[in-house]
Amino acid sequence: MTATRVLVAKVGLDGHDRGVKVVARLLRDAGFEVIYTGLFQTPDTVAAAAVDEDVDVIGLSMLSGAHMTLAPLVVEALRARGCDVPVVVGGIVPPQDVSDLEAAGIAAVLGPGASADEVVETIATAARGERPHREATPHR
């Protein structure tokens, strides 16, 4: 049995990567195969990497406030390539934006208070094609 493949990415001009590196490591330690694209990716480069790497789920780290613009563009770029990989957004996302992100095709949203267990379970659930039944973790 092969490990679930997760692409983690930083989209846009957000140069803060400490959190995404911590998430990548905890996912790896939980048994996922993790591909990290690095900083300053575009929606198209994320979609292309997801297709090239044949991933099961994508995790976007969004701290810049551009989640309402960039995350849906990643979903659109994936669909344009015929790819239906679930996208999970983590970072600074106001709770009132969660339903709009889900309507735009985002599978789940994790806020800054999400525990390691919650991150792992949300990624695993999304990779199975199931929709996690939780809202963004409240800011703490």
Q: What is the CATH number of domain 5-127?
A: 3.40.50.280
Model confidence over 16-73: pLDDT tens digits? Answer: 889 899 999 999 999 999 999 999 999 999 999 999 999 999 999 998 888 999 999 9
Model confidence over 84-116: pLDDT tens digits? Answer: 999 999 999 999 999 999 999 999 999 988 999
Question: Which own/partner contact pairs does 76-79 have at CB distance under 8 Å and 24+ positions apart?
Answer: 76/43, 77/43, 77/44, 77/46, 77/47, 77/48, 78/47, 78/50, 78/51, 79/105
Domain boundaries, given as residue ranges, for the chain:
5-127
pTM: 0.91
